[in-house]
């Protein structure tokens, strides 16, 4: 019998400190950096984001999200036999945030590793977990996106620091006789490393280069809309479906204008697009599972709905996963 994978539970967590545009603008003004609520809302659709306290790590945010997903799936942490965690802001250089999360969950023995594909991380992680379940390497996978992007923001650069936030989202992906995940499509193009990166690294006990986020916003914008359309169409074709079969598009929450552009190209009305960027900002690998969990808990996304998850980010990386929820 063909083996598939299916999401059996979702969870998410936002750190308690919610920072509105007005609060951020006032804080930036005190550093001589000028921005406004109006500019941020008009260009991005973001009204607020959450920032973690300085001593809170990605695995700290991942833990309550993971516990919620495990509870929603009706299983115990000890039933998990694979952890794949997508992050670009891991707790340490090594070991992986996935191993740290495993220990915080009080479990041991199952494989646990991080996936680094920046804002595409969650669709990469979900695709890897799906493949491992299909081959029989796992039966109950915990797939997480967790980020503390506030740690790598340059608060003297108004073109980037207003865009991002912190948070975590998680799903339990279980082996199933019926799909589940219908198709996925992943890509990368390393020629675009420089348009979105944190170029610094640790070397000889010191930080070498700039450890803060750099972005060519317009270059990212232009690439993002095109590749998101391509990935959605390729995934639909693999599954033998059309855009009309999508109940909900859950794109990476980077910017409302990127989401509107993608929906327009796919001829999907915006009322079929899950939008949380207004309240979360861009939480990179956490944004899709955060949006998924919010829409499940609000009752928008229901069992049996067909969902298109789409990510795009640094690398340049992009991809999509089509699934029956």
As annotated, the active-site residues are 119, 252, 282
Q: Is 244 exposed, middle or buried (0-12, 13-18, 19+ CB in 10 A)?
A: exposed
Decide: 63 and 15 in contact? Cβ < 8 Å: no
Cis peptide bond upstream of 95, omega within 30: yes
Decide if 127 contacts 115 (C-beta within 8 A).
Answer: no
User: Contact with ligand ACO (CB under 6 A): which of 11, 261, 313, 315?
Assistant: 313
Among 18, 43, 134, 233, binds ligand ACO (CB under 6 A): 43
Q: What is the footprint of ligand ACO within residues 142-161 (CB under 6 A)?
A: 158-159
If the CB atoms of residues 130 and 147 are measured against ligand ACO, the closer one turns out to be: 147
The residues in 44-73 that bind ligand ACO, with binding defined as CB under 6 A, are 44
* Distance, CA of 316 to CA of 217 (rounded, Å): 13
Residue nearest to ligand ACO (CB): 217
- Decide if 31 contacts 155 (C-beta within 8 A): yes
Establish if 221 lies at the interface with ligand ACO (CB under 6 A).
yes
220 near ligand ACO, rule: CB under 6 A: yes
Instruction: Give whichever of 53 and 270 is closer to ligand ACO, judged by the CB atom.
Output: 270
Contacting ligand ACO (CB under 6 A), which of 250, 312, 320, 321?
312
Pick from 202, 218, 245, 302 the residue near ligand ACO by CB under 6 A.
218
254 binds ligand ACO per the rule CB under 6 A: yes
DSSP string, 14-60: --S-EEEHHHHHHHHHTTT----HHHHHHHH---EEE---TT--HHH
| Interface contacts to ligand ACO, rule CB under 6 A | 35, 39-40, 43-44, 119, 158-159, 162-163, 196, 215, 217-218, 220-221, 224, 252, 254-255, 282, 312-313
């Amino acid at each position: 019998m063909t083996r598939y994978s299916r999401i059996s539970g979702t969870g998410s967590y936002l750190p308690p400190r919610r920072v509105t545009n007005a609060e951020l603008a006032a804080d930036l003004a005190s550093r001589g950096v000028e921005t406004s609520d109006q500019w941020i809302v008009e260009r991005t659709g973001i009204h607020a984001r959450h920032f973690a306290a300085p001593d809170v790590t990605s695995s700290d945010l991942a833990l309550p999200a993971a516990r919620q997903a495990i509870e929603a799936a009706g299983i115990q942490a000890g039933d998990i036999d694979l952890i794949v965690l997508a992050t670009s802001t891991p707790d340490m250089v090594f070991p992986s945030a996935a191993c740290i999360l495993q220990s915080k969950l009080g479990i041991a023995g199952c494989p646990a590793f991080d996936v680094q594909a920046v804002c595409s991380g969650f669709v990469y992680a979900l695709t890897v977990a799906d493949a491992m379940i299909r081959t029989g390497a796992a039966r109950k996978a915990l797939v997480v996106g967790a980020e503390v992007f506030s740690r790598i923001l340059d608060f003297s650069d108004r073109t980037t620091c207003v865009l991002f936030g912190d948070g975590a989202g998680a799903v339990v992906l279980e082996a199933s006789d019926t799909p589940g995940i219908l198709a996925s499509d992943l890509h990368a193009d390393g020629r675009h490393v420089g348009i979105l990166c944190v170029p610094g690294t640790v070397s000889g006990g010191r930080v070498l280069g700039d450890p803060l986020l750099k972005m060519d916003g317009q270059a990212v914008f232009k690439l993002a809309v095109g590749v998101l359309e391509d990935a959605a169409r390729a995934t639909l074709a693999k599954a033998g479906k059309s855009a009309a079969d999508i109940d909900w598009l859950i794109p990476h929450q980077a910017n409302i204008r990127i989401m509107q552009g993608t929906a327009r190209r796919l001829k999907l009305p915006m009322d079929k697009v899950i939008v949380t960027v207004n309240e979360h900002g861009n939480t990179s690998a956490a944004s899709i599972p955060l949006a998924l969990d919010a829409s499940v808990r609000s009752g928008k996304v229901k069992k049996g709905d067909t969902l298109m998850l789409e990510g795009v980010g640094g690398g340049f990386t992009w991809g999509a996963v089509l699934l029956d929820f």
